[in-house]
Amino acid sequence: MKTGLFATNIGPCASPATLARVARAAEQAGLDSLWTGEHVVLPDPQAPPSPLPPEVPILDPVVALTFMAAHTDRIRLGTGIIILPQRNPLVLAKELASLDVLSSGRLIFGVGIGYLKPEFDALNVPFDHKGARTEEYLQAMIAVWTMAKPEFRGRFHSFGGVRAEPCPVQRPHPEIVFGGHTPDAFRRAARLARGWYGFALDLDRTRACLDGLRAACAHVGRRFEDLEISVTPVPERGRLLLDRDAARRFADLGVHRLIVYSPAARDEAAVLRVVAEAERELVALA
């Protein structure tokens, strides 16, 4: 069982001093990865399904991960997730390749299609066809990362006669993880990704998602066992994180990585307590 830390660009971790200390503490504690979330903008006032009040600070994930790369040596750096249909795929490919180079190949590229229509509206990005655009943008990014003479012709994006150097350190490209809890998300993970990331799940919902992923893998002819499963679990009542026995129950379901998150950690000291508790309860399961 691997252990990651979520929300390293949100709330208290939006402070550079705190972010540097948290990143170093997580690496020293033996966590395997640091993960960022993304919302370019949030609805004001907050309204469902917006996950956070609009005054909560959220650093750009690529900028935050690059900063963390400069303060660490080994720990992996994950976008959990980037809302791909909101991005220009070639600009994002350049940013992520730069991060992978500067971190010596530590990037995990987590992808999602987004769900907040007010966010899409504010960015002047269409809310329809999000899934199709996400898949096409990902193909365009892989083309510019991997082809000697990059070219892509699609419905939503086309290019040719250009190059974008440097390419990522990881070859053929950084590890790709898809988020989401829907049948379409499961199929994208099965077809396009090294792994899948489920956020804010208890054991029953995790079990249901893994059943969906097994069905999706069977449909596309892929071994479910080859898909790396990462989950951010819902903390048990009165606890910052899961204890070791609860973590083993996730492992028994087939989860490979727990990406821990405590919404109650609202200052640097609390985030560092989360890291310490993760080391005590979860890193021993690695």
**Structure confidence by residue, pLDDT tens digits, 30-75:** 999 999 999 999 999 999 999 999 999 999 999 999 999 999 999 9
Contact yes or no for 181/198 (Cβ under 8 A): yes
Distance CA 90, CA 145 (A): 10
Domain of residue 271: give its range.
2-285
| DSSP code of residue 207 | H
CATH code for the domain of 88: 3.20.20.30
The number of distinct structural domains making up the chain is 1
Q: What are phi and psi of 181, to 5 degrees?
A: -120, 20
What digits encode the pLDDT tens for the residues 118-177? 999 999 999 999 999 999 999 999 999 999 999 999 999 999 999 999 999 999 999 999
Label residue 273 left, alpha or beta by phi (over 0 means left) and psi (-120 to 50 means alpha): alpha
